[in-house]
Amino acid sequence: MKIKVLSVVAIATVVVTGMSFRLIQSKPWAVPDKDAKTANPVKTSAASIAAGKALWSEHCSSCHGKSGLGDGNKAAQLETQPTDFTKAAFQSQPDGALFYKVSAGRGDMPSFKKKIPEQEEIWNLVNFMRTLKK
């Protein structure tokens, strides 16, 4: 009887923890005002977009998909659905907010501060993300 009770408690703990994680992920992703207002210092150009696209292919497409729809081959393995970057809600965010989110990460979205240490490269990625409009 004691083992059954412990098993039920363990299962309940796992379920509640998973539900809590999903609730945290469904909350809006707050970006500090200072970061959201940071202007993109990298001019949008063919070279910047090409550099950003290369980074996208290497680091982002496996979850967010080749076209930014959130349909990458790893998307189904995640706790939360990756963002669809083609939607107006995503595209309406300031460049500084996108830079912050790529750099800081949250939940399933990893921080890229170490994987992409050059800030200019992250700004190139932001410039590429702007091309993913519908």
Tell me the C-alpha distance between 46 and 61, whole Å: 20
Q: What is the pLDDT of residues 58-91, one digit of tens each?
A: 999 999 999 999 999 999 999 999 999 999 999 9
Assess whether pLDDT exceeds 70 at residue 7.
Answer: no
Q: What does the block give as tokens for 3?
A: 């083992």
Res 134: pLDDT: 78
Which of the four pLDDT bands, split at 50, 70 and 90, describes residue 27?
A: confident
Q: What is the pLDDT of residues 89-115, one digit of tens each?
A: 999 999 999 999 999 999 999 999 999
Put residue 110 in one of left, alpha, beta given phi > 0 → left and psi -120 to 50 → alpha. beta
Per the CB < 8 A criterion, the answer to whether 128 and 70 are in contact is no
**Separation in Å, CA 66 to CA 24, 62, 108:** 27, 8, 18
Task: Please give the average per-residue pLDDT across 35-49, as a whole number.
Answer: 98
Res 6: pLDDT: 53
